[in-house]
Amino acid sequence: MGGAAARGEPRSFVTAPTNAELLDVAREAATVAGALLLERFATGATGEVWTKSSPTDPASEADTASEVAIRNVLGERRPDDAVVGEEGADVQGRSGLRWVVDPLDGTVNYLYGLPAWTVTLACQDGAGETLAGVVYDPGRGELFAATADGPWTRNGEELPPRPRATELSQALVGTGFGYAVERRAREGEIAARVLSVARDLRRIGSAALDLAWTACGRLDAFYERGLNPWDAAAGMLICARAGLEVRSLPAAEGLPAGVLVAPAAIADELEAVVRPSGR
């Protein structure tokens, strides 16, 4: 018996994983990290806390421990994939796939004991298309998931379509704010405009949770600027598979680019309201 296989050499081809297989990896990584975080959350054992981009942008030992747990799963199951995480160094891959990882989205809530935080990660191809992603809320035991070619699910079950707001005046809108003082002031002006035309506004403190809740109908719409790929990739895919409009907001007037998710009936109106100029 001859050839590369007989000599124990690598084959010249690799079978690409299906999106469902990638989603299975994401589920495992998120649940392992979520269990670790939930145990620490219950006891208040967050460990050392430090700040990153500003005094209002914290991270903790819980964040880094969660990311280590996720990277361990990815390293075992997808060792050739690239990894880009919020807390750790980027890992170069050779498969053409990359994982974007937020091990604890909603760190401020977590540190204050507020039960509104998630673990989220997604796998993307070389063109940046999200193939599979999850948003896991350990406190409520809810795992929101989707693939690019399948339905979105909550705890593995497809849910029936929810009624959506058909007028902005009846829409409950979610948002978030940046860490820089100057940017927050501008975003506050936009939030005031939204409050004047929508049913109400919510600032939950986890963009991934905002997106998952928009998908399942707990919010009607969501917008935020300055999100990183790991903050929003999974949630945006889940919303798209739930039938919502998912739009990019271009950078404008000193504010960074962003994302807007809404039912088609109100997407244009909401996008006009959240433009920096309000037009």
Q: Are 196 and 133 contained in the same domain?
A: no
How many folded domains does the chain comprise? 2
Q: What is the CATH number of the domain that holds 263?
A: 3.40.190.80
Q: Are 198 and 259 contained in the same domain?
A: yes
Nearest to 210 by CA among 144, 148, 129: 144
- Kindly give the confidence (pLDDT) of every residue in the chain, 279 residues in length, as a single tens digit, with 9 standing for 90 and above: 344 444 444 443 468 899 999 999 999 999 999 999 999 999 876 766 646 555 555 567 888 899 999 999 999 999 999 999 877 778 899 999 999 999 999 999 999 999 999 999 999 999 999 999 999 999 999 999 999 999 999 999 998 878 899 999 999 999 999 877 888 899 999 999 999 999 999 999 999 999 999 999 999 999 999 999 999 999 999 999 999 999 999 999 889 999 999 999 999 999 999 998 866
In a domain, 162, yes or no: no
User: What does pTM read for this prediction?
Assistant: 0.90
Domain boundary among 106, 126, 154: 154
**Which tokens hold the place of 148?**
């690019």
In a domain, 279, yes or no: no
C-beta of residue 98 within 8 angstroms of C-beta of residue 123: yes
Instruction: Using alpha carbons, list the distances in angstroms from residue 60 to 36, 51, 64.
Output: 14, 8, 7
Burial class (CB in 10 A: 0-12, 13-18, 19+), 254: exposed
Q: Are 146 and 173 contained in the same domain?
A: no
In a domain, 141, yes or no: yes
Q: Are 75 and 202 contained in the same domain?
A: no
Q: Are 150 and 204 contained in the same domain?
A: no
Q: Which domain holds residue 243?
A: 168-274
**What span, in angstroms and rounded, lies between the C-alpha atoms of 179 and 197?**
25
Strands (E), the chain: 49-51, 58-60, 82-85, 98-105, 118-124, 130-137, 142-147, 153-154, 172-175, 200-202, 221-225, 245-249, 258-262
* Sign of the CA dihedral with 103 first, then 109, 113, and 118 last: negative
In a domain, 81, yes or no: yes
Domain boundary among 116, 132, 154: 154
Q: Compute the C-alpha angle 16/21/81, nearest 5°.
A: 55
Neighbours of 18 (CB within 10 A): 14
Q: Are 23 and 77 contained in the same domain?
A: yes
Q: Which helix (H) or strand (E) holds 52?
A: none
